[in-house]
């Protein structure tokens, strides 16, 4: 739901609550009791859930991920002028939406799936960013899952009929079962490669 709509709902809720706070005697009447129940229970719970949904949706934005200083180089790597850089090639050719570039390929990241343990990892990131010392370079907690590639490439002609993918019947089965990683050495192994960004040439959309 758009942020403006949530803000309007919050403003309406505040207005109702102000009536209860200013004149609590209105709750003596049946209508007042209903108003109090709406204003002090139903609407705040609903507004809180809408706010939570809004925050979770916003955290999928590229700008959200890149707002942490340590992620800056990963953002820069999307602009490398070299099609062998997988994230850059996807970003620059609109294979991933620009405003959700990180989330599109990292759908399993902390906040979205993974249970309580993953949520604590998310809190650890906040701690590391503002109070601690973040690992540099950052590392994935688990090996990159082929599911992130296959949710788009599965069924695509370039993937299904790719010469290397079909060189041996076992290769395709291993890719689809996540036994052989798409980003294995010798395959699509040029990912963000932030250690070598200093030597990279960058693409600018304005060119």
Partner 1 sequence: MSETQPIAAKLRKSGILIILGLLVEALTLVWNHPLAFIAFIGISGLLMAIGILLYLWALVSHSTQKSAR
Compute the distance between CA of residue 82 and CA of residue 80 in angstroms, rounded to an integer.
Answer: 6
Q: Taking the complex as a whole, how short is the minimal distance between the CB of residue 93 and partner 1, in angstroms?
A: 26
Q: Taking the complex as a whole, how short is the minimal distance between the CB of residue 180 and partner 1, in angstroms?
A: 35
CB 107 within 8 A of CB 148: yes
Provide the token pair at 81.
């002028």
x/- letters, 47..86, toward partner 1 (CB under 8 A): xx--xx-xx--xx-x-xx--xx------------------
Provide the token pair at 26.
């209105």
Provide the token pair at 180.
């052989």
Question: Omega of the bond prior to 137 within 30 degrees of 0, cis?
Answer: yes
Residues 21-40 touching partner 1, rule: CB under 8 A, are 21, 24-25, 27-28, 36, 39-40
Q: Taking the complex as a whole, how short is the minimal distance between the CB of residue 56 and partner 1, in angstroms?
A: 8
Contacts of 154 (CB under 8 A, 6+ apart): 160, 176
Contacts of 56 (CB under 8 A, 6+ apart): 111, 112
Q: Which of 35, 44, 95, 145 binds partner 1 (CB under 8 A)?
A: 44
- The binding site for partner 1 (CB under 8 A) comprises 3, 6-7, 10-11, 13-14, 17-18, 20-21, 24-25, 27-28, 36, 39-41, 44-45, 47-48, 51-52, 54-55, 58-59, 61, 63-64, 67-68, 125-126, 129-130
């Amino acid at each position: 739901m758009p942020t403006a709509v949530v803000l309007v709902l919050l403003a309406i809720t505040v207005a109702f609550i102000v009536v209860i706070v200013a004149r609590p005697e209105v709750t003596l009447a049946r209508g007042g009791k209903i108003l109090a129940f709406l204003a002090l229970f139903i609407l705040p719970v609903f507004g809180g859930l809408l706010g939570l949904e809004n925050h979770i949706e916003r955290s999928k934005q590229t700008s959200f991920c890149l707002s942490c200083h340590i992620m800056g180089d990963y953002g820069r790597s999307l602009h490398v002028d070299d099609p062998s850089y997988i994230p850059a090639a996807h970003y620059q050719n609109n294979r991933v939406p620009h405003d959700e570039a990180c989330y599109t390929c990292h759908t399993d990241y902390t906040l979205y799936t993974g249970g309580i343990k993953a949520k604590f990892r998310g809190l650890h990131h906040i701690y590391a960013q503002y109070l601690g010392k973040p690992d540099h370079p950052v590392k994935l907690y688990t090996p990159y899952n082929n599911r992130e590639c296959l949710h788009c490439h599965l069924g695509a002609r370039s993937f299904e009929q790719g010469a290397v993918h079909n060189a041996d019947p076992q290769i395709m089965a291993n890719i689809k079962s996540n036994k052989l990683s798409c980003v294995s050495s010798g395959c699509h192994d040029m990912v963000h490669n932030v250690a070598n960004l200093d030597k990279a040439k960058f693409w600018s959309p304005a060119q």
